[in-house]
Structure 1
Amino acid sequence: MSGALPEALEARLVELETRLAFQERALAELSDALAAARLENARQAELLRRALEELKAGGSPFYADPSEEPPPPHY
């Protein structure tokens, strides 16, 4: 009987070590994903900042300056 207890403890230890290894790998993958998301967020923030600067500077071809438009025909 004394031989069964250490085998059970060894099996439990192996199970815990296996779980720990999977958790460490998952943590590393999550860390990599978070780093990539932060880089993407910084890139998107820079694109948004540039787009807002262009809109403020009037560089957008989508909106014409009302002072440059001819008056409507009913005037």
Structure 2
Amino acid sequence: ETGEELYKTKGCTVCHAIDSKLVGPSFKEVTAKYAGQAGIADTLAAKIKAGGSGNWGQIPMPPNPVSEAEAKTLAEWVLTHK
């Protein structure tokens, strides 16, 4: 599956949009914050899979039911939104 397909089928749309903040940050905000950082796709993939909190406010992102490969595909796709 492509990153966009995973975004639509794995529940990401509940909290995230490409260009506007919902519960979580927009993908454009994520890309702007992390642009140019070495290894950031792997870091984001780990956060997608395991969940996390504190980077974007008080509301935590729960762990997501994705494989490591799916998480990496999603992270790489998220980072294409400038």
Q: 1 or 2 for the larger relative contact order (CA 8 Å, sep ≥6)?
A: 2
Structure (1 or 2) with the larger CA radius of gyration: 1
More helix by share: 1
Q: State the TM-score, normalizing by the size of structure 1.
A: 0.20
